Amino acid sequence: MTTPAPQPARPPADRPTPDPDRNDAQRFAIASAQLLNDYDCQDVRVLDVRGISPLTNYIVIASGTSDRQLRAMANHLAKLGGEMGFERYGDDKDSAATWLVADFVEVMAHLFEPATRDHYDLEMMWGDAPNVKWRRSAER
């Protein structure tokens, strides 16, 4: 029997509403992807879900090799978010720590172990969302 995926909770009334016109969120999403790539996360993607998701504007997805790496990456993202004006609103993880979600309101980061990522296939769920180019010009 598989563990059900963590479901995003309905936003509480005090949760800030994402602003679809803020370019700061895209800059934070791109910086998050670059940071995850710098720390050896694999298959890093940024999806632009403005107008598709009622909860967020950008989704960052990455794979890590262990629960320890995933937790460390969530902490690095929280630090980066604080530096860029995006405080972590909340986070969640499955019981085995194979999927961790860090919620920055306008940007949500989903960090997976590879098998869990394949199982839930968020890229397919958000298949209509455009991919955001995030690689530095030297990495392309």
Task: Give the tens place of pLDDT for each residue, 64-121.
Answer: 999 889 999 999 999 999 999 999 987 766 667 789 999 999 999 999 999 999 999 9
Contact, 113 vs 43, CB < 8 A? no
Q: Which residue has the higher pLDDT, 14 or 128?
A: 128
How confident is the model at residue 39, as a pLDDT?
Answer: 94
Supply the Cα-derived Rg of the chain in whole angstroms: 14
The tokens describing 77, both together, are 């993202």
| 11, pLDDT greater than 50 | no
What's this model's pTM, rounded to 2 decimal places?
0.81
DSSP state of 24: H
How confident is the model at residue 137, as a pLDDT?
Answer: 80
Domain extents in the chain: 23-134
Q: Give the mean pLDDT of the chain.
A: 85
Strands (E) across 12-135 are located at 42-48, 58-63, 90-93, 99-103, 107-112
CA distance 29 to 20: 13
Q: Which residue has the higher pLDDT, 62 or 1?
A: 62
* Domain spanning 23-134: CATH 1.10.3720.10: no
How confident is the model at residue 44, as a pLDDT?
Answer: 97
Residues in the chain: 140
How confident is the model at residue 40, as a pLDDT?
Answer: 95
In a 3-state reduction of DSSP, which class is residue 108? strand
Q: Which residues pair with 58 in a beta bridge?
A: 48, 107
| 26, pLDDT greater than 60 | yes
CA distance 49 to 53: 6
DSSP state of 54: S
How confident is the model at residue 106, as a pLDDT?
Answer: 94
Q: Helices 23-38 and 67-84, interaxial angle, to 10°?
A: 140
Phi, psi angles (nearest 5°) of residue 10: -60, 140
